[in-house]
A and B are shown apart, each in its own frame.
Chain A
């Protein structure tokens, strides 16, 4: 099992550009989520999905879109990048929603918006 994979590992964008961060898991997990990690802020939840076709907003959803067409994939889209979106982005998955389940994290994508 590869676990949770994320691509790319690093990305530099100019303000206003769009891009998609890819996330895939091969553990047949129902719950997937996207976090951003900024210094002194911990991880903040952007969007999450409790299954294919179902997504919802987390703590900081503005500027980001998601979709979940398959169990395996959960891409995060930045429609018009802003410098405030410079961060490290982590995708995670767990067997189901709830605070009792272990979340498995990908290695992260470091995004810089100039």
Chain B
């Protein structure tokens, strides 16, 4: 059982559509991070959310941390083919032990 459950596992949409992916846990995290990974490369950090209820925006990407700090969502507006990739959420299980979800694999078709 994953400590962080991500949904959906796969998502295929057309360019211009909006989408939301989710990261859920039964545990409370002091912070959650979102990474994007492209084929053949390591993950790259997109954002860190720290405060319950926090909303952060990164161009067309909007990240939200749940009020109880157990879940997070990533919303993409007007998706583009360049958004294609594996989106991973990660949280510190204790201060040193980072745990990752299994990821959402997003494909944006032109």
Residues of A near any B CB (own CB < 8 A): 4, 31, 33, 35, 40-45, 48, 50, 56, 58-59, 90, 92, 97-100, 102-103, 105-108
Question: B40 and A42: CB pair below 8 A?
Answer: no
- Among residues of A, the one whose C-beta sits closest to the C-beta of B3 is A59
* B-side interface size class: 20 to 34
Q: Which residues of B lie under 8 Å from residue A102 when comparing CB positions?
A: 33, 45, 48
Q: Which residues of B lie under 8 Å from residue A4 when comparing CB positions?
A: 42
Q: Which residues of B lie under 8 Å from residue A40 when comparing CB positions?
A: 9, 102
Most buried by A among B32, B43, B92, B98: B98
Q: A40-B102, A41-B2 are in contact. List 8 more A-B contacts (CB 8 A).
A: A42-B6, A43-B100, A45-B97, A45-B98, A59-B99, A99-B32, A103-B90, A105-B44
Q: B30: CB under 8 A from chain A?
A: yes
* Known contacts A42-B2, A45-B97: A99-B42 contact under CB 8 Å: no
Question: B42 and A90: CB pair below 8 A?
Answer: yes
| Neighbour of B41 across the interface among A31, A56, A99, A107, CB < 8 A | A107
Query: Can you show 30 pairs from A to B with CB atoms below 8 A apart?
Result: A42-B2, A42-B4, A42-B88, A42-B100, A42-B103, A43-B88, A43-B100, A45-B98, A45-B99, A48-B96, A50-B96, A56-B96, A90-B42, A90-B43, A97-B96, A98-B96, A99-B30, A99-B32, A99-B91, A99-B98, A102-B33, A102-B45, A103-B43, A103-B90, A103-B98, A105-B43, A105-B44, A107-B40, A107-B41, A108-B40
Q: Which residues of A lie under 8 Å from residue B91 when comparing CB positions?
A: 99
